[in-house]
Amino acid sequence: MRVALPRAGVSILLVLVAVGVAAVVLNLAGFDVARVGDAAWRGAFGSTSAIVSATLKRATPLALLGIAVAVAFRAGVLNIGADGQFLAGATASVAATLFLADFPPPVVLCGGLLAGIAGGASWAALAAWLRTRFAVPEVVSTLLLNFVAANLVGYLVRGPLQEPTHSYPQSAVLPAAGRLPQLVVGERLHLGFVFAVVACVAAAWIFDRTAAGFRARAVGLNARAAESAGGVSANHVRTLALIISGGIAGVAGFGEANGVTYALYEGLSPGYGYTAIAVALLGGLRPAGVGAAAVFFGALGAGADAVQRDAGVPAEMASVVAALVILGLLMLPAGHRLVGEEGAR
């Protein structure tokens, strides 16, 4: 059960191959590849606005979710429920923001952030509890909880959290006090981007410089050795890693709801939680690499949106590229032991 943690050069080569394969598929499907490529490039990098308001804005949740996935994977927990934890975080943030609407902006924003962390962490804690108490594997529980979360959001935006006129399946629009400030005037990049950068730096520091990070990596590398030689409780470490992973995913949900959409609605996540797996692996589960991979997938998503508008290619094509990247990485000669034997089930 090993995965390769690629070097930067290998990652770039793999990305080029994946994009190339996608181009061949598009060509076979009868699209004008040159036009698609041109539209994608302009959508992702064509102007300052494209870079800031499209690529970096989209990279923000992907970086946070990529870090969330990397934290879990490093500790040997296969958390494929980042999507559900993201939605749980966004839901809690929106509820808290609306509840605190009359307070000064810092109070509203801090309340929203804390609620987001709590929402994502508790959704992950549910999976952790199901494993420790009932031996339900995380792979199954986190996956199923994604669907529960998506349907719960669908219920809430038609029920308790629906906007006051009860006409649309979405929450009330967040008050100005609950909106994350923009980093560049007139552009859509918000303070959440800073959170993503901070998360990358903090995760790097925790993994490389602290005892807790060392214990997590030890459990991920060889749980039995960590327990017998290091006196570490693998179960405890895995539970904590999964809950922290969920909390980080919750921050991503907060950033998206309070920084981009200003409301909760179904389809808030176009599969961010799944793309995040590609982000984490392409980044070699290392925070700096995850940040770089998030910018790539942010650009890919921004480009795919532009292509859907301009050339009529469905934006889902971006997930084909993400999938090819994951498959390519998994086929590399593996060095890093990803998940302990019992963790895979």
Partner 1 sequence: MSGLPSDLVDAAIRAATPIGLAAIGELIVERSGVLNIGIEGAMCLAALASFIAASAAGPSAGLAAGAITGVIVTGLFALVVVRFRAQQVLAGTAISMLALGLSATLNHALYSTTLETPHVATLPALRIPGLAAIPVIGPAFAQPFPTYLFYGAGLGVAWFLYRTIGGLSLRAAGEDPGALRTVGKRPAAIQTAAIMASGLFAGLGGATLVVAQAGTFTDNMSAGRGFIAIAVVALGRWTPAGVILGSLLFGIASSLQFVVQASGTTIPYNLALATPYVLTLLALALLGGSRAAPASLGRSLDAPG
Binding site for partner 1 (CB under 8 A): 1-3, 25-26, 29-31, 78, 80, 130-131, 133-137, 139-141, 143-145, 147-148, 151-152, 154-155, 158-159, 271, 274, 277-278, 281, 312-314, 316-320, 322-324, 326-327, 330-331, 334, 338-339, 341, 344-345
Q: Which is nearer to partner 1, 51 or 234 (CB)?
A: 234
Q: Which is nearer to partner 1, 117 or 306 (CB)?
A: 306
Q: Which is nearer to partner 1, 150 or 183 (CB)?
A: 150
User: Least distance (Å) from partner 1 to the CB of residue 102?
Assistant: 29
User: Least distance (Å) from partner 1 to the CB of residue 299?
Assistant: 17
Q: What's the token pair of residue 243?
A: 């809950």
AA identity, residue 27? N
Q: Which is nearer to partner 1, 192 or 301 (CB)?
A: 301
User: Least distance (Å) from partner 1 to the CB of residue 163?
Assistant: 16
Q: Which helix (H) or strand (E) holds 29?
A: none
Q: Long-range CB contacts (< 8 A, 24+ apart) of 233-236?
A: 234/76, 234/340, 235/132
The answer to whether the beta carbons of residues 81 and 123 sit under 8 Å apart is yes
Q: Which is nearer to partner 1, 107 or 344 (CB)?
A: 344
Q: What's the token pair of residue 250?
A: 């919750």
User: Least distance (Å) from partner 1 to the CB of residue 326?
Assistant: 4
Total residues found in the chain within this entry: 345
User: Least distance (Å) from partner 1 to the CB of residue 63?
Assistant: 19
User: Least distance (Å) from partner 1 to the CB of residue 139?
Assistant: 5
User: Least distance (Å) from partner 1 to the CB of residue 74?
Assistant: 14
* Mutual angle of helices 234-256 and 57-74, in 10-degree steps: 170
Q: What's the token pair of residue 309?
A: 């508008």
Biggest CA–CA distance in the chain, Å, is 62
Rounded distance between C-alpha atoms, residue 220 and residue 234, angstroms: 9
User: Least distance (Å) from partner 1 to the CB of residue 239?
Assistant: 15
Q: What's the token pair of residue 93?
A: 């943030």
Helix (H, G, I), strand (E, B) or coil at 259: helix
> Tokens 């992973």, residue?
245
Q: Which is nearer to partner 1, 15 or 189 (CB)?
A: 15
Beta-bridge mates of residue 171: 162
Sign of the dihedral defined by the CA atoms of residues 271, 272, 278, 281, in that order: negative
Q: Which is nearer to partner 1, 230 or 270 (CB)?
A: 270
Q: Which is nearer to partner 1, 200 or 329 (CB)?
A: 329
> Tokens 């792979």, residue?
139
Q: What's the token pair of residue 73?
A: 């994977």
Helix (H, G, I), strand (E, B) or coil at 182: strand
The answer to whether the beta carbons of residues 16 and 275 sit under 8 Å apart is no
